[in-house]
Amino acid sequence: MNYEQVLEYLFSALPMYQRVGNVAFKKDLTNTIALSEALGNPHEGLKTIHVAGTNGKGSSSHMLAAALQSAGYRVGLYTSPHLKDFTERIRINGKPMRQNDVIRFVEVNKAHLEKIKPSFFEMTVVMAFDHFTREKVDIAVIEVGLGGRLDSTNIIHPEVSLITNISFDHMDMLGNTLPLIAGEKAGIIKNGVPVIISEFHSETLPVFEKVAESKSAPLIQAWHSHVALPSLQLLGKHQLKNARGVVATLQVLRQKGWEIQDKNVVDGLQHVSELTGLKGRWHCLSQYPLTFCDTGHNQDAFEYILNHISTYAYRKLYMVLGFVKEKDLSKLFPILPQDAVYVFCAPKIPRAMSLATLKEELVNFKAEHHFVEDVSTAIEWARARAHSDDFIFIGGSTFVVAEIEDL
Question: Given 276, 302, 327, which residue is the final one in a domain?
Answer: 276
Same domain as 217, residue 194: yes
Domain residues for 35? 3-276
Q: Is residue 11 part of a domain?
A: yes
Same domain as 356, residue 389: yes
How much is the average pLDDT of 276-296?
91
What is the pLDDT at residue 240? 83
pLDDT digits (tens, 9 = 90+) for 107-129: 999 999 999 989 888 999 999 99
Surface-to-core class of residue 166, CB atoms within 10 Å of its CB (0-12 exposed, 13-18 middle, 19+ buried): buried
Query: Beta strand pairing status for 48-52 and 75-78?
Result: unpaired
What is the pLDDT at residue 130? 98
Same domain as 231, residue 143: yes
Same domain as 305, residue 252: no
pLDDT band at 90 (very low <50, low <70, confident <90, very high): very high
Q: Is residue 56 part of a domain?
A: yes
Same domain as 172, residue 55: yes
Give the CB-side neighbour count of residue 352, counting CA atoms within 13 A: 22
Question: Given 276, 306, 330, which residue is the final one in a domain?
Answer: 276
Question: Given 276, 299, 327, which residue is the final one in a domain?
Answer: 276
Give the residue, 237 or 122, on which the prediction is more confident. 122
Q: Is residue 190 part of a domain?
A: yes
Does residue 390 register a pLDDT over 80?
yes
What is the pLDDT at residue 126? 97
Same domain as 260, residue 302: no
The proportion of the chain whose per-residue pLDDT surpasses 90, expressed as a percent, equals 67
Q: By mean pLDDT, which of 15-19, 189-193, 262-266 is the weakest?
A: 15-19
Q: By mean pLDDT, which of 66-75, 206-215, 280-289 is the weakest?
A: 280-289
Q: Is residue 407 part of a domain?
A: no
What is the pLDDT at residue 394? 97
Q: How many domains does the chain have?
A: 2
Q: By mean pLDDT, which of 46-50, 295-299, 343-347 is the weakest?
A: 295-299
Does residue 200 register a pLDDT over 80?
yes
Same domain as 130, residue 20: yes
Same domain as 141, residue 33: yes
Q: CATH number of the domain that 79 lies in? A: 3.40.1190.10
Same domain as 326, residue 213: no
Give the residue, 250 or 8, on which the prediction is more confident. 250
pLDDT digits (tens, 9 = 90+) for 61-80: 999 999 999 999 999 999 99
The pTM for the full model equals 0.86
pLDDT digits (tens, 9 = 90+) for 332-365: 889 999 999 999 999 998 889 999 999 998 888 9
Same domain as 95, residue 162: yes
pLDDT band at 313 (very low <50, low <70, confident <90, very high): very high
How much is the average pLDDT of 86-99?
97
| Closest C-alpha to 220, from 240, 246, 238, 188 | 246
Q: CATH number of the domain that 386 lies in? A: 3.90.190.20
Q: Is residue 89 part of a domain?
A: yes
Q: Is residue 308 part of a domain?
A: yes
What is the pLDDT at residue 287? 95
Q: Is residue 376 part of a domain?
A: yes
Q: Is residue 230 part of a domain?
A: yes
Same domain as 224, residue 357: no
Same domain as 290, residue 272: no
pLDDT band at 382 (very low <50, low <70, confident <90, very high): very high
